[in-house]
Amino acid sequence: MQKLNPDNLRLSHVLYQVKDLHLSVEKLQDAGFIVEYGTEKSKAYNALIWFEKGVFVEIYQNSGLPFYVKWMMKIFGYQPVLYRMKKWQSVGEGWCEWSLESALNDLNAEKQFFINEKTEYKFHKAKRKDIFGQKLRWELLMPNNIDFPFLMSVYVPNPRPKEISHPNGIKAVKNIVVGKEKLDFHLLNQLLKNQEGLKITEGKGLQTVEFLDSELKIEEILKDFSF
């Protein structure tokens, strides 16, 4: 049995929900970010803002799961995952989720930890092709408690650029700002030993993201859209 090592977990990435992915990407590029679509542009429902280290940003649009897929998810007990996705959609436009990431290729220790804590979750092995045709694989653990961040394993292979220089000069995410309301600190403090870069505030869920040495805000860049 693999034992949980809190040193293996770190802040992973944050999700920003948008209504129009392509327009949002253009706006972010105009603001000096290098933005990479999650897959081929015509098929993409997400895009990524990478940094050489630390938290990265995912811009997310409704993946448009067909009705039959949602129905199958309900049948096979994945209703909590649908609730989580519905929570993202309810934001409309804005920050909707944050996550934790293991340094390992699997989430075996984390699954056992949740079992020991009698905390329900859903597990999924994910894969996608990136814009370079590279097949990425990773694991996802989604707690049934939709107010708790989801967990993921490291991407295999690692798609993060070794060097990246955003024209706006931003080098990293300094802090993610998360509301304390309904956040299970008992679980969080056991899972995440190093909480540098996590700023707790009033409210509920992910509030905003602060960049290193910059006052630029994603929500300010995208706020002027009229859909």
**pLDDT tens for residues 91-143?**
889 999 999 999 999 999 999 999 999 999 999 898 999 999 999 999 999 99
Select from 183, 15, 2, 200 the least CA-distant residue to 93.
Answer: 15
Banded pLDDT at 71 (limits 50, 70, 90): very low
79-91 helix and 67-75 helix, angle to the nearest 10 degrees = 130
Domain residue ranges of the chain, discontinuous segments joined by +: 6-222
State the pLDDT at residue 79.
Answer: 73
CB 60 within 8 A of CB 45: yes
Q: What is the DSSP string of 54-104?
A: S-EEEEE------HHHHHHHHHTT-HHHHHHHHHHHHHSSEEEEEEEEESS
Report DSSP state, residue 3: P
> Residues 156-190: pLDDT tens digits?
999 999 999 999 999 999 999 999 999 999 999 99
Fold of 6-222: 2,3-Dihydroxybiphenyl 1,2-Dioxygenase; domain 1 (3.10.180)
CB 45 within 8 A of CB 61: yes
Looking at the whole model, is its pTM more than 0.85?
A: yes
What kind and span of H or E run contains 204?
strand 204-211
